[in-house]
Structure 1
Amino acid sequence: MRREEQIMEEAFAQLELHTGIHAEWKYQPAEIDGEADLFIEGGQFHVYIEVKREVRQYQLEQLLDQARQYRPFMIIAEHIFPTIKERLRAEKIAYLDTAGNIFVNADGTYVWIDGRKTPKKAKMITNRAFTKAGLKTVFCLLANPNAINMPYRQLAQNANVALGNIQNVLDGLKDSGFILQKNKQEKLLRNKKQLLRRWIDGYRETLKPALHIGNYKFWDKDKINKWRQLPFPEHANAVWGGEGAAEEMTGYLNPAELTLYTENKSALVSAWTLIPDINGTVRIYEKFWQDNGQSGERLAPPVLVYADLILTDDPRCIETAEIIYNKYLKGEYEND
């Protein structure tokens, strides 16, 4: 059973346990994740369903688009933050979480239950594709369309993971419907846009926090305005990510902070005279892949720049992320 199906099962079970509202549902992932009939006060209410582990600010526009296309529409998630619930109620979009909290306001049916806590449960079996090693590997698959058919040793080297992880990661992706075995020699990565969303969620929660080395500021304050001209130290193996890379790629975003990925933090700190500062706007992360970046190795791959921008939850960055997606990623990720 896939994670999304487990979330649906838990949410509807808690709903019936605590409210008596029965649901007949089916998990059938395609453009949406499924459908359900809810039996409320003697009536039957049909909904189209999208499932998320958590609902984040950056996902709202996509969910609103789905809600306009599939009516009535319901979001089911393990957890939905109060501010997100408020926005969904304002848009009259139904939601349900795994504690049994529900909102429905459509076609004369109105239900709003809130305040229930998610019950403690046994830890689910982890899909190895979304562990730290798995997320590094999936990144390489998303960044390089040919990586899915690389020899395992080469893929492991590019992802900076142990060779033994690769089979487990690919098995996890296959079980989740992201790999199609075309023939004995060739595999295809499929549902790439959905995989990108799953990867971004995992990158936010699991991988990116582990990669964070620290925040810094320039000793020479003038350097913040001359960041484009700063030469990378010879042994830093560094690239720009986030807002700096986005500005280089689009010319659309004046960076409020600078993100760097490097294999040698000390070389950067020394060459640029950076000072540790918890509120510093120079944010340094461990470079976790081995294949080259873009544009003379000064920029991270577009998929990582896109993710960095999305994870800011900042409207100006999300707008720039969409420019990058349409220019660099859409043709590949929506060509399944």
Structure 2
Amino acid sequence: METQEVVHTALENIPDETGIHFTWEDNPMAGAIGQLKLTFKNREIHFNTEIKKEILEHQLPNLEIAAKNKQPFLLVAHYLRPKIKTELRKRNIAYLEKNGNIFINHENWFILIDANKPVDLAKETGNRAFTKTGLKVVYLYLTEKNWLNKPQREIAKKTGAGLGNISNVNHGLQKEKFLLKVNRTQKQLNNKQELLEKWMKAYAVTLQPELKIGQFRFADEKNYIHYRKIQLDENTWWGGEPAGDILTDYLRPGELTLYTNNTRTGLMKQFKLIPDPKGNVRIFKAFWNTVNQQEQNTVHPLLVYVDLMNTGDNRCYETAQMIWDKYLAHEF
């Protein structure tokens, strides 16, 4: 099985000089995929194990709950991004990567290896619906469902995609049963919630990093505290935490997110921003072609939901659920 292959590769990549020995065991407890028996200096621990390709920020709260319910718990993953590994260590969730990197802090055992290079992830099956271009088209389908049955030439113009890409995207969605033909001329989305989950994961990894214009701080920090007083033009929208705050009045933003069609230089002048890699203002290029998203100068609630879920923060997670219930649930 592929899952066991991941485990065995990971165990082979743990350096012998650590003196750690792992054995994979079947017959796991309910809800776990398997157990790993760790032997070190004549002591044993049996870890209830889950295996994932990777973990994204929005999955952390549920993973933390699972870890508490299945103690002692260990996550095995093909690959974990540095930020995710930091979060796992903060939450004291043991993990093992396919490359042999490992973290365990259990009782009086502390093991940390983080020097091994990542093992290349297997490529997706080539589904064009979840490429950078495909994600823009799927976003249009999810947020403006009337576009699904418009001519492909119009969809291509709306999304900035090549005409041939629209057919490839639709084929990719059909392949995974996300798009169904109702009749000769009409199509409809299927399993929309599952599609959104997949879009959310691919967006965080594939598209959003390419959209980042930069990270900044305000020359006057009062603008951060009173961000709602900032006048946005028709080409700039609040996203992420400030949008969540605006839509729910529940969240106090830890950082500000903007999406825009304006230039970096123009934004710095307009909002008196100073480039700062640790700044609390993140700005991304808008990837849609719509004049105005919301009356409140926020991006579409779906993108707000996605941004909040991808933070991995519990308060953001709660805010995302409120947005889901108020703005999105009836569409899914």
- C-alpha distance in structure 2 between counterparts of 1:242 and 1:36, whole Å: 34
Residue 253 of structure 1 corresponds to 251
Higher mean Cα deviation, 154-163 or 321-330? 154-163
Name the CA shift for 1:271/1:99 in 2 (closer, same or farther; >3 Å): closer
Q: Where does 1:136-147 land on structure 2 (aligned, <5 Å)?
A: 136-147=136-147
Q: Where does 1:234-273 land on structure 2 (aligned, <5 Å)?
A: 237-265=235-263, 266-273=265-272
User: What is the CA-CA distance between 1:169 and the residue it aligns to?
Assistant: 0.9
TM-score by length of 1: 0.70
- C-alpha distance in structure 2 between counterparts of 1:226 and 1:291, whole Å: 27
TM-score by length of 2: 0.70
State whether residues 128 and 172 of structure 2, in contact with CA within 8 Å, keep that contact through their aligned partners in structure 1. Answer: yes
Give per-residue Cα distances to partners, 1:68-123, cap 9 Å, x unaligned.
Answer: xxxxxx99864467675997989xxxx9987899xxxxxxxxxxxxx999865774
- C-alpha distance in structure 2 between counterparts of 1:97 and 1:259, whole Å: 31
- C-alpha distance in structure 2 between counterparts of 1:66 and 1:140, whole Å: 34
Name the CA shift for 1:183/1:98 in 2 (closer, same or farther; >3 Å): farther
Which secondary structure does the structure 1 equivalent of 2:325 belong to?
Answer: helix
- C-alpha distance in structure 2 between counterparts of 1:51 and 1:184, whole Å: 42
Where structure 1 has 5 or more consecutive residues not aligned to the other structure, the ranges are 1-8, 24-34, 39-49, 68-73, 102-114
Paired letter, 2:312: D
Paired letter, 1:263: N
Off by >3 Å, runs of 4+ in structure 1 = 12-23, 35-38, 50-53, 60-67, 74-90, 95-101, 115-125
Aligned length: 291
Paired letter, 1:312: T
- C-alpha distance in structure 2 between counterparts of 1:66 and 1:141, whole Å: 33
Residue 330 of structure 1 corresponds to 329
**Kindly, what percent of the aligned residue pairs are identical?**
39
Q: Where does 1:35-46 land on structure 2 (aligned, <5 Å)?
A: none
User: What is the CA-CA distance between 1:250 and the residue it aligns to?
Assistant: 0.4
Name the CA shift for 1:275/1:65 in 2 (closer, same or farther; >3 Å): closer
Which structure has the higher relative contact order (CA within 8 Å, separation 6+)?
Answer: 2
Q: Where does 1:76-155 land on structure 2 (aligned, <5 Å)?
A: 78-79=78-79, 123-155=123-155
Residue 5 of structure 1 corresponds to none
- C-alpha distance in structure 1 between counterparts of 2:188 and 2:268, whole Å: 42
User: What is the CA-CA distance between 1:290 and the residue it aligns to?
Assistant: 0.6
Q: Where does 1:1-336 land on structure 2 (aligned, <5 Å)?
A: 9-13=1-5, 53-61=53-61, 78-79=78-79, 123-233=123-233, 237-265=235-263, 266-296=265-295, 298-333=297-332
User: What is the CA-CA distance between 1:60 and the residue it aligns to?
Assistant: 4.6
Name the CA shift for 1:297/1:254 in 2 (closer, same or farther; >3 Å): closer
Paired letter, 2:320: A
- C-alpha distance in structure 2 between counterparts of 1:300 and 1:179, whole Å: 25
**Could you say what the CA RMSD is over the residues aligned between the two structures, in angstroms?**
4.1
Where structure 2 has 5 or more consecutive residues not aligned to the other structure, the ranges are 13-21, 27-31, 36-49, 68-73, 102-112
State whether residues 130 and 202 of structure 2, in contact with CA within 8 Å, keep that contact through their aligned partners in structure 1. Answer: yes
- C-alpha distance in structure 2 between counterparts of 1:156 and 1:130, whole Å: 16
State whether residues 135 and 207 of structure 1, in contact with CA within 8 Å, keep that contact through their aligned partners in structure 2. Answer: yes
Paired letter, 1:329: L
State whether residues 261 and 286 of structure 1, in contact with CA within 8 Å, keep that contact through their aligned partners in structure 2. Answer: yes
Paired letter, 1:303: L
